[in-house]
């Protein structure tokens, strides 16, 4: 199964890999059960191969000088980060090892699906600000790991895909606030024809959760009575633990027994204390956000969405700052440390075709139809129909000698055409003739991209008229859909009444002239009592039409139908005997 394509988030702190499996994007866990692989590599002193991930990170305390982390910051440079095996290792070489590990994780997790064959294709994400050199270095790292890099995708774009922002309206603008372990990125994107364009990007490649850990570690160290900048590693680890815990809890007990072999430190710290210490670091993201907005020429309120990405956005104070800067509640519906990877997987799935199912599952948010005689909505494709879809119906002329029909494409849930939205309209000409003689087929087709095509055909001549409506069929804002549905529920009773009235009136309009014509034709051959009964029933229909009462009209139509039974039979008999 070489058509599988991996989606990879090659992060500064953590990396993730995933794939589309049976139409679903999934992230894959390594042998230790974690979907996150620390972007760390340990190079052994003597024998053995480099270790990647959690195992490497674990050796940092004992053999810190042999462990490399955060090489992404050096991507595209010639800087040596390690000398090992008789040669110099740079960021690209180390990244190749990390990518190789991710490839292995994926192959192990997918072994049943692939029957053990290698997976060789991948999509890899990079920060939006990466230049060509850095992008090419990332690509080469992938190739060195045995991967064909099908595409390099911007991290904010991937995150926006994971958040489903590609379903927003055309020209929507979104901000992606990505606060990771060692870097901060803010990007403003605009959605154009289903593709995100980067309007502006800003940030700091040396600002992240690690800096918060550092501040907290130093503060704890001072509380323990320590001085100078040489903070023991154990304080750094305790700081990171406390930080993560305080994203959910209000207090956290820091315990460092015998941290220097003799002294111990123990202190219950509160979120309030944490925020006081961490505020300075978190505040540094504010200016970057404001600059990104101003570079994009936008005010915060012009944005349609703000999404949070990166592990550090779990911190409540970070969320509060985002809320304040952008004046709105950020979208946190996705797992912040997995959003970029998930987006990479979705992009990979779209490229390989494995994700086609997801596109197919798009549905029409509102019903589509045309206006029919009497101003009623005639639904052709009901709401919540899966696209692509093609459906049609045959219509006829309601009036004799009509020579064209106006097709109004409508969207909405209301019974009366005028309460729904008009998407477009056109005329279809046909041969004039008696009422009900024309045959006009109307077909609605929505393709996988949500483009609606309305086709009308005069079946007598085979002549077609076609109207194309871009994306409006599927692309309606959630709020508008909700408002339309609420309205249809609110007006359900009166709408139904209006429909029944129009239908009743159409029936009366058909019956009354026919009855008048029959009475004239039959003349005296109808006995007086019978004739009086028919006339009375017809008069009641006319009065019911005046009254405006739906139920009265319905009953009157029915009585007239019944009263004319004998008369109708006589007419048939006459026709048969050729008189």
Residues that bind ligand ADP in the complex, under the rule CB under 6 A: 11-14, 180-183, 208-210, 240, 243-244, 247, 310-312, 314-315, 337
Q: Where are the alpha helices (DSSP H) in 77-144?
A: 91-109, 111-114, 132-144
458 is catalytic: no
CB of 18 to ligand ADP, least distance (A): 15
Nearest to 542 by CA among 506, 497, 504, 508: 508
Which one from 72, 139, 173, 507 is the annotated catalytic residue?
72
Asked whether position 11 contacts Mg ion by CB under 5 A, the answer is: yes
Owner of token pair 């993201």: 285
Strand-by-strand arrangement of the 40-42 sheet: 51-52, 40-42, 67-69
The secondary structure of residue 134, as a DSSP letter, is H
Closer residue to Mg ion, CB minimum distance, 11 or 38? 11
Distance CA 429, CA 456 (A): 10
Closer residue to Mg ion, CB minimum distance, 11 or 25? 11
Distance CA 27, CA 36 (A): 9
- Site track for Mg ion across 133-172, x = CB under 5 A: ----------------------------------------
Q: Binding partner of residue 240 among Mg ion, ligand ADP, none, CB under 5 to 8 Å per kind? A: ligand ADP
Per CB under 5 A, which region of 9-17, 68-76, 458-466, 556-564 contacts Mg ion? Answer: 9-17
Asked whether position 209 contacts Mg ion by CB under 5 A, the answer is: no
Q: Binding partner of residue 209 among Mg ion, ligand ADP, none, CB under 5 to 8 Å per kind? A: ligand ADP
Closer residue to ligand ADP, CB minimum distance, 90 or 180? 180
In which element (H, E) is residue 455 found? strand 452-458
CB neighbour class for 124 (10 Å; exposed up to 12, middle 13-18, buried from 19): buried
| Residues sharing a CB contact under 8 Å with residue 562, sequence separation 6 or more, in sequence order | 537
Per CB under 5 A, which region of 179-187, 222-230, 246-254, 404-412 contacts Mg ion? Answer: 179-187
CB of 275 to ligand ADP, least distance (A): 12
Closer residue to Mg ion, CB minimum distance, 36 or 405? 36
Q: What is the helix, strand, coil percentage profile of the chain, to 5? A: 45, 25, 30
Q: Are 210 and 181 in contact (CB under 8 A)?
A: yes
Which one from 93, 178, 213, 495 is the annotated catalytic residue?
178
CB of 128 to ligand ADP, least distance (A): 13
Residue 33, both tokens: 């059960």
Q: Binding partner of residue 226 among ligand ADP, Mg ion, none, CB under 5 to 8 Å per kind? A: none
CB of 68 to Mg ion, least distance (A): 18
Q: Are strands 24-27 and 148-154 parallel, antiparallel or unpaired?
A: unpaired
Task: Kindly determine how many residues on this chain lie close enough to bind Mg ion according to the rule CB under 5 A.
Answer: 2
Q: How far is CA 31 from CA 7, 56, 107, 248, 342, in A?
A: 19, 14, 12, 28, 20
Q: Are 268 and 251 in contact (CB under 8 A)?
A: yes
Q: Binding partner of residue 210 among Mg ion, ligand ADP, none, CB under 5 to 8 Å per kind? A: ligand ADP
535 is catalytic: no
SS3 category, 116? coil
Owner of token pair 């809890």: 249
SS3 category, 532? helix
Residue 400: is the preceding peptide bond cis (ω within 30°)? no
Closer residue to Mg ion, CB minimum distance, 210 or 465? 210
CB of 236 to ligand ADP, least distance (A): 11
Asked whether position 369 contacts Mg ion by CB under 5 A, the answer is: no
Which one from 9, 92, 419, 465 is the annotated catalytic residue?
9
Q: Binding partner of residue 201 among ligand ADP, Mg ion, none, CB under 5 to 8 Å per kind? A: none
Q: Binding partner of residue 182 among ligand ADP, Mg ion, none, CB under 5 to 8 Å per kind? A: ligand ADP
| Residues sharing a CB contact under 8 Å with residue 80, sequence separation 6 or more, in sequence order | 88, 89, 90
Q: Are 119 and 103 in contact (CB under 8 A)?
A: yes
CB atoms under 10 Å from CB of 393, counted, come to 15
Per CB under 5 A, which region of 10-18, 103-111, 290-298, 463-471 contacts Mg ion? Answer: 10-18
Asked whether position 180 contacts Mg ion by CB under 5 A, the answer is: yes
9 is catalytic: yes
CB of 240 to ligand ADP, least distance (A): 5
Closer residue to Mg ion, CB minimum distance, 333 or 461? 333
The secondary structure of residue 51, as a DSSP letter, is E
Closer residue to ligand ADP, CB minimum distance, 89 or 177? 177
- Radius of gyration, CA atoms only, the chain: 36
Q: Are 267 and 223 in contact (CB under 8 A)?
A: yes
CB of 33 to Mg ion, least distance (A): 21
Q: Binding partner of residue 349 among ligand ADP, Mg ion, none, CB under 5 to 8 Å per kind? A: none
Q: Binding partner of residue 30 among ligand ADP, Mg ion, none, CB under 5 to 8 Å per kind? A: none
CB of 157 to Mg ion, least distance (A): 13
Distance CA 110, CA 314 (A): 31
Per CB under 5 A, which region of 8-16, 326-334, 356-364, 554-562 contacts Mg ion? Answer: 8-16
CB of 262 to ligand ADP, least distance (A): 29
Q: How far is CA 227 from the centre of its chain?
A: 52
Residue 257, both tokens: 């027994």
To the nearest 10°, report the CA torsion of 104, 106, 110, 115.
-40
Q: Binding partner of residue 157 among Mg ion, ligand ADP, none, CB under 5 to 8 Å per kind? A: none
Residue 61, both tokens: 């305390």
CB of 447 to ligand ADP, least distance (A): 37
Name residues contacting Mg ion, limited to 280-299 (CB under 5 A).
Answer: none
Which one from 93, 155, 190, 419 is the annotated catalytic residue?
155
SS3 category, 372? strand
Q: Binding partner of residue 343 among Mg ion, ligand ADP, none, CB under 5 to 8 Å per kind? A: none
Closer residue to ligand ADP, CB minimum distance, 152 or 398? 152
Closer residue to ligand ADP, CB minimum distance, 209 or 365? 209
Sign of the four-CA dihedral 386, 305, 132, 206: negative
Closer residue to Mg ion, CB minimum distance, 183 or 488? 183
Q: Are 159 and 9 in contact (CB under 8 A)?
A: no
What does the binding site for Mg ion look like in residue numbers (CB under 5 A)? 11, 180
Catalytic positions are 9, 72, 155, 178
């Amino acid at each position: 199964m070489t058509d599988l394509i991996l989606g990879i988030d090659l992060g500064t702190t953590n990396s993730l890999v995933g794939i589309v499996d049976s139409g679903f994007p999934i992230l894959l866990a390594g042998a230790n059960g974690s979907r996150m692989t620390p972007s760390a590599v340990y190079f052994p002193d003597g024998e053995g191969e480099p270790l990647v991930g959690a195992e490497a990170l674990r050796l940092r305390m004992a053999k810190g000088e042999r462990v490399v982390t955060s090489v992404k910051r050096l991507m595209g440079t010639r800087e040596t980060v390690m000398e090992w095996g008789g040669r110099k290792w740079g960021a690209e070489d180390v990244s190749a090892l990390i990518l190789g590990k991710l490839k292995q994780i994926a192959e192990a997790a997918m072994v049943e699906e692939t029957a053990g064959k290698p997976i060789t294709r991948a999509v890899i994400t990079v920060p939006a600000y990466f230049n060509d050199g850095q992008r090419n270095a990332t690509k080469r790292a992938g190739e060195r790991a045995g991967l064909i890099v099908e595409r390099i995708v911007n991290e904010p774009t991937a995150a926006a895909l994971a958040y489903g922002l590609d379903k927003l309206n055309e020209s929507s603008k979104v901000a992606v606030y990505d606060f990771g372990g060692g870097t901060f990125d803010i990007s403003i994107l605009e959605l154009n024809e289903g593709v995100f364009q980067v309007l502006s990007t800003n940030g700091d490649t040396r600002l992240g959760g690690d800096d918060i850990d550092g501040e907290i570690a130093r503060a704890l160290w001072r509380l323990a009575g320590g001085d100078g900048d040489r903070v023991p590693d154990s304080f750094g680890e305790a700081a990171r633990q406390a930080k993560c815990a305080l994203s959910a809890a209000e207090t956290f007990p820091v315990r460092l027994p015998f941290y220097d072999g003799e002294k111990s430190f123990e202190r219950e710290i509160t979120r309030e204390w944490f925020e006081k210490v961490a505020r300075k670091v978190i505040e540094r993201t504010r200016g970057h956000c404001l600059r990104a907005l101003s570079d994009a020429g936008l005010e915060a309120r012009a944005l349609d969405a703000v999404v949070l990405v990166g592990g550090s956005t779990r911190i409540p104070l970070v969320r509060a700052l985002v809320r304040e800067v952008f004046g709105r509640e950020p979208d946190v519906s996705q797992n912040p440390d997995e959003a970029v990877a998930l987006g990479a997987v979705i992009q990979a799935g779209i490229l390989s075709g494995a994700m086609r199912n997801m596109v197919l599952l798009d549905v029409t948010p509102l019903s589509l139809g045309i206006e029919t005689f009497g101003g009623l909505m005639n639904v052709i494709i009901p709401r919540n129909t899966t696209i692509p879809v093609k459906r049609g119906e045959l219509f006829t002329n309601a009036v004799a000698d009509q020579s064209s029909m106006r097709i109004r494409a409508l969207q909405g849930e209301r019974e009366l055409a005028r309460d729904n939205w008009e998407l477009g309209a056109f005329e279809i000409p046909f041969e004039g003739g008696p009422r009900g003689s024309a045959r006009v087929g109307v077909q609605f087709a929505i393709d996988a991209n949500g483009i609606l095509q309305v086709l009308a055909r005069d079946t007598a001549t085979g002549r077609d008229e076609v109207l194309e409506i871009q994306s409006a069929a599927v692309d309606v804002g959630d709020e508008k859909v909700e408002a339309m549905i609420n309205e249809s529920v609110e007006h359900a009773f009166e709408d139904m009444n209006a429909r029944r009235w129009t239908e009743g009136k159409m029936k009366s309009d058909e019956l009354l002239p026919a009855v008048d014509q029959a009475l004239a034709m039959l003349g005296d051959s109808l006995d007086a009592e019978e004739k009086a009964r028919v006339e009375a029933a017809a008069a009641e229909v006319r009065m019911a039409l005046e009254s405006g009462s739906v139920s009265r009209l319905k009953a009157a139509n029915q009585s007239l139908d019944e009263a004319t039974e004998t008369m109708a039979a006589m007419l048939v008999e006459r026709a048969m005997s050729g008189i």
